[in-house]
Amino acid sequence: MPQTESASLAAEQGTLTTTTIKVLTTGAELIVVDYKLLPSTNPGDNGNWIGLWQNEAEIQWNVDAKPSQEVTGDNQKGTVRFKVDLAQNNYMLGYAVGPVLASPSQKNGNICATIYIPKLNSLKALKDGAVVKAEPDVTFLTSLTLGHQSGDGVTVKYAVPRGNDPGANKSWIGIFRGSAGYNIPPERAVPVKSSEDAAWLGIDHKFVLGKKYTLAWYMSGYADKSPVQKRLAATLEFIAE
């Protein structure tokens, strides 16, 4: 489910803010990638990283990226450079909002944004004046979409990168009154038990009408008593109706 790059997307019901990546430069030997994270994210402290898989059309969830780079510091915006050979290879690029996971979770289960970068077309045989249309890079961003809501609950559609297994990775949704935060405990933490990479969920919760709420999607880290709040990929703010 490709999506256009945007740090904040206004929906019919609520406002989505998500982790984004965008290719700034694509050359035969170099890819420069821009990333934009959620407010207050500390990528260095949260174990963020970005990696490449060669000649793959989707993320290899249990195969090490080669190469990969840690995202250090506490800036929510930055760039990463990779040396590549686009004359010979396709590349799949992924941004992870947390560290590599241990089995039975998917090793790369914290990847929430991806870009497929096709190899360059062969230009040697082009005749004078001929045009070859460049293949577009395909970007995917984790998203949340609000469906039906009432004072007793909501339905929400999530979408994560193709092949991601939320249930195995212990993905979860936090429900916050007001805005979500890394150090603010949610009113409720809801485990995502499905193995589907896109699905609708029903969430039972008492919502106060007219108040702002935020649904926050975490790629991993669910636990009954103290879920890990560092692996936040996307939020959806809305007014309870």
Query: Domain holding 100: CATH number?
Result: 2.60.40
Phi-psi label, residue 224: left if phi above 0, alpha if psi -120 to 50, beta otherwise? alpha
**Full domain range(s) for residue 194:** 141-239
- pLDDT, mean of residues 43-63: 96
Does residue 9 belong to any structural domain of this protein?
no
Q: Do residues 181 and 96 share a domain?
A: no
Does residue 131 belong to any structural domain of this protein?
no
Least confident interval from 27-36, 93-102, 204-213: 27-36
Structure confidence at residue 126 as a pLDDT band (50, 70, 90): low
Provide the pLDDT for residue 25. Answer: 83
Task: State yes or no: pLDDT of 124 exceeds 90.
Answer: no
Q: When comparing pLDDT for 167 and 224, which is higher?
A: 167
Q: Choose one of 121, 150, 175: the last residue of a domain.
A: 121
Does residue 7 belong to any structural domain of this protein?
no
Alpha carbon 96 to chain centroid distance?
7
Provide the pLDDT for residue 10. Answer: 41
CATH code of residue 168: 2.60.40.10
Q: Do residues 107 and 148 share a domain?
A: no
Q: How far apart are the C-alpha atoms of 186 and 89, rounded to whole Å?
A: 44
- pLDDT, mean of residues 121-127: 64
Most confident of 44-48, 81-85, 87-91, 126-130: 44-48
Q: Choose one of 121, 151, 185: the last residue of a domain.
A: 121
Provide the pLDDT for residue 135. Answer: 72
Q: How far apart are the C-alpha atoms of 74 and 84, rounded to whole Å?
A: 27
In the chain, how many domains are there? 2
Does residue 132 belong to any structural domain of this protein?
no
Q: Do residues 55 and 113 share a domain?
A: yes
Q: Do residues 23 and 117 share a domain?
A: yes
Does residue 34 belong to any structural domain of this protein?
yes
DSSP annotation of 215: E
Provide the pLDDT for residue 136. Answer: 74
Q: How far apart are the C-alpha atoms of 144 and 16, rounded to whole Å?
A: 7
DSSP annotation of 151: T
Structure confidence at residue 133 as a pLDDT band (50, 70, 90): low
Task: State yes or no: pLDDT of 35 exceeds 80.
Answer: yes
Q: What is the pLDDT of residues 162-184, one digit of tens each?
A: 999 999 999 999 999 999 989 99
Task: State yes or no: pLDDT of 1 exceeds 60.
Answer: no
Provide the pLDDT for residue 11. Answer: 44
Does residue 231 belong to any structural domain of this protein?
yes
Mean pLDDT of the chain: 90
Q: Which amino acid is at 152?
A: D
As a whole-number percent, the residues of the chain with pLDDT over 70 amount to 90
Q: How far apart are the C-alpha atoms of 146 and 156, rounded to whole Å?
A: 5
Q: Do residues 149 and 235 share a domain?
A: yes
Q: Do residues 44 and 87 share a domain?
A: yes
Q: Do residues 153 and 218 share a domain?
A: yes
Task: State yes or no: pLDDT of 18 exceeds 90.
Answer: yes
Q: Do residues 158 and 214 share a domain?
A: yes
